[in-house]
Chains A and B, each alone.
Chain A
Amino acid sequence: DLIFGDENYIILEFEC
């Protein structure tokens, strides 16, 4: 599990 990460990304959220 620890080999995954979202550090690579800027995460944007929108409502559909």
Chain B
Amino acid sequence: NLVQLYWDIILLTESKFLLPQYRQQQQSLKSFQKYVVDKMGVTLNRMVKPVKVPYSRTGNLNTPWRQLGIKYLMVYLPLHFKDVIWCKCDQFCFHVILPQNNASSALRRGISNDKEWLLSLLELGDKLGMQSIRIYIGRDDFNGVSTFLRNLNWIGGRLVPNENRAG
């Protein structure tokens, strides 16, 4: 049961990156599951025989979201988000997928009270020994995060360009 729980967490976290048009297709979900299981095998091998990859802030290459995580976490910040926050860590980066359509009430009201949950996540990333944290905010929640984005420089964040999937 514990192993099944781990797989569920991994699959649910990774499924947050499924494109909407594929979420309802049985065949796509099967290939998604196979993909994750196969890649997790590679990830486990890498953990047994670790290869050091240089960290770079300039590109996505070293910390792609598409690489499976080494650790998966369900984070719960009930004062700020109603839903569980799905997270994963690779070697350097703590990936946090904020619940869609469910941002904190403070965010929704546009009150600059984003610091608390951000600080909590930064502290957690630090505790986990991560160099950086990537926060994935649903585009359909853009209105809710506009205040947050306006203050980005002030809070020391930067926007990461989307991956060139065609490339």
Contact = CB atoms under 8 A, between A and B. Distances in A.
A3 B122 contact: no
Nearest to B32: A3
Contacts, number: 96
Contact of A12 (B20, B139, B158, B165): B158
Given A6-B65, A16-B94, A16-B133, A11 B159 contact: yes
Interface residues of B, number: 45
B32 A6 contact: no
Interface in B141-159: 142, 145, 149, 152, 155-159
A16 B125 contact: yes
Contacts of B138: 8-10
A15 B93 CA distance: 9
Contact of B18 (A3, A14, A16): A3
Interface of A: 1-16
6 contacts: A4-B66, A6-B65, A9-B136, A11-B137, A11-B161, A15-B133
Given A12-B160, A13-B157, A16-B133, 11 more contacts: A2-B165, A3-B32, A7-B19, A11-B160, A12-B152, A14-B125, A14-B135, A14-B156, A16-B125, A16-B126, A16-B131
